[in-house]
Amino acid sequence: MIRFIKESKEAALAHLCEFIEDCEFTKLSVRVLHLLGIEGPKAPNPTKYIRYIYNRVVLENAIVRAAAVTSLAKFGVCGVDPTIKRSVTVLLNRCLDDVDDEVRDRAALYLRIMKEEELAESFVKEDSVYSLATLESKLVAYVNDPAAQEVDFDASSVPKISRAQAQQESARPTTLESITASVVSQPKASAPAKAAPSAQETQSAYASQLAAVPEMETFGTILNSSSKPIPLTESDTEYVVTCVKHIFKEHVVFQFNVSNTVPDSLLENVSVVMQPNGEGLTEDFILPAEKLDLSTGPQPVYVSFTRENPEEYTLGGFACTLRFVSKEVDPSSGLPEDTGYDDEYQLEEVELSAGGDYIVPTYCSFESEWEKLDGAANAEEEFSLSSMASIKAACESLIEVLNMEALAGSDNPTSTAVHTLLLSGLVAGGGGKVLARCQMAFTASSGVSLRMSVRAEKEEVSQLLISAIG
């Protein structure tokens, strides 16, 4: 209710304060104290909640007392009034004499945090957490790759998400839970509803699939894969082809999933010939699909390139042509003819871009991270987005092109004339964090005018982001 009806916040918090005075359920008390610690410091008069919270330290069991210490500390760390901070410090010092070690340890921890702003930012004010599914996927890849274990695991390569996104992620049923639920609840006659795989599950599937290819055993861990297959043909054509791009430290692998929808037709030695329109990549090999007919379903064709300079982020397009040997199949015997003919089929162009290929969205506190990158690589450029009919459309386009996380609700502009979009991303392969502040103004005559300021840990990354728009 507090989240969706802002006007009810004060009354709701007051009711919760009264509720925990006589609550006999430990779990409920802990949850209420947690909420008071989050919402209380933001209230116009936060001091009225401190008394109720400290009463729990005096009157409750050890679990509730520990939760009350954490909630109390947030008023001292997040509050702007110095008198509140001093009052909270006095109360936390009293908790150092508690009989329970958890309560004492929490009090000592938060007293230290209140004295050091850097610790406060990391342990209390920081609203982002690691995506556990992505972390698990990368750890599994790290453990299964002996070459990667020669260096320490790089936690900075794991994108972060907001706590709200983490709750949604944890609430999502796993594949095992979905199967179990369908077996228990669904009648045998009906097909069980299968949950769509998450992005992390898809990435893990790609990693397992490529690890089974002998030619790629030495490539190392996949830094990033396309979140969705890119269609290179219409879905109703005779040959349906999609592409998934895999970025390694020193290689780029294009995976073409090819389907033959023509009955009584067999394709052999199916390959994709790629012609890059730029420099920076050298072709290694093509792994064709041996046979392809209507019954085999989609089969992968791999094309591998070496990144001539792994420190650079190669961008550009590739002209793609599907080549194969076509053979007619006898409908009566089901056998293909002995000889076929060479044929080819033109595909849509594949493009290596900044967003989606090198940059993944990650959550952070924009203002604090922006200040931290003050002395790092930065770039600024102005653009005219004359084709954009509104600021809202420009925001959606920028988020899609750059594949970055919109922060502080900036993806929903409140004005139709001016707006600032705040974006955060993480560059695969040790490129570090990148932030973008996009200031936009709209007029009916000229569309959207954009001034984009970029701060990144590396100069190449800031230029990568600018080139993605230009």
Residue 2, pLDDT > 80, answer no
**d(C-alpha 71, C-alpha 91), whole Å:** 12
The pLDDT value given to residue 151: 82
How confident is residue 172, by pLDDT bands cut at 50, 70 and 90?
A: low
Tell me the β-bridge partners of 162: 128
The pLDDT value given to residue 179: 42
Burial call 438-449: b when 16+ CB within 10 Å, e when fewer = bebebeeeebbb
The pLDDT value given to residue 220: 83
How confident is residue 188, by pLDDT bands cut at 50, 70 and 90?
A: very low
Across the chain, what does the average pLDDT equal? 86
The pLDDT value given to residue 468: 86
Convert the pLDDT of each residue in 376-431 to its tens digit: 888 999 999 988 999 999 999 999 889 899 998 899 998 999 999 999 998 887 78
How confident is residue 455, by pLDDT bands cut at 50, 70 and 90?
A: very high
CA distances from 271 to 210, 215, 260, 263, 289 (A): 17, 16, 13, 20, 7
Residue 183, pLDDT > 50, answer no
The pLDDT value given to residue 200: 67
Residue 354, pLDDT > 90, answer no
Three-class secondary structure of residue 277 per DSSP = coil
- In 10 A of CB 52, how many CB atoms? 22
How confident is residue 236, by pLDDT bands cut at 50, 70 and 90?
A: confident
**d(C-alpha 182, C-alpha 45), whole Å:** 49
Q: Which of 156-160, 193-197, 267-271, 368-372 has the largest mean confidence?
A: 267-271
**One-letter amino acid identity for 456?**
A
Convert the pLDDT of each residue in 14-68 to its tens digit: 899 999 988 889 999 999 999 999 888 888 888 889 999 999 988 889 999 999 9
The pLDDT value given to residue 196: 59
Residue 185, pLDDT > 50, answer no
Burial call 144-157: b when 16+ CB within 10 Å, e when fewer = ebeebeeeeeeeeb
The pLDDT value given to residue 43: 86
How confident is residue 184, by pLDDT bands cut at 50, 70 and 90?
A: very low
Residue 319, pLDDT > 70, answer yes
Residue 71, pLDDT > 80, answer yes
| Share of residues in the chain with pLDDT > 70 (%) | 92
Residues 6+ apart with CB under 8 A from 392: 412, 413
Residue 448, pLDDT > 90, answer yes
Angle at 429 between CA 427 and CA 432, to 5 degrees: 40
CB 103, CB 95: distance < 8 Å = yes
Convert the pLDDT of each residue in 82-104 to its tens digit: 899 999 999 999 999 999 999 99
Mean pLDDT computed over 443-469: 90
The pLDDT value given to residue 195: 54
Burial call 10-46: b when 16+ CB within 10 Å, e when fewer = eeebeebbeebeebeeeeebbebbeebbebbbeeeeb
**d(C-alpha 392, C-alpha 250), whole Å:** 38
CB 232, CB 351: distance < 8 Å = no
**d(C-alpha 462, C-alpha 151), whole Å:** 27
Within 13 Å and on the Cβ side, how many CA atoms surround 74? 24
Closest CA to 192 of 209, 180, 204, 174: 180
Query: For the chain, how many residues are written?
Result: 470
Mean pLDDT computed over 209-229: 86
Angle between helices 62-78 and 26-39 (to 10 degrees): 0
CB 161, CB 141: distance < 8 Å = no
CB 465, CB 454: distance < 8 Å = yes
Closest CA to 96 of 137, 75, 123, 65: 65
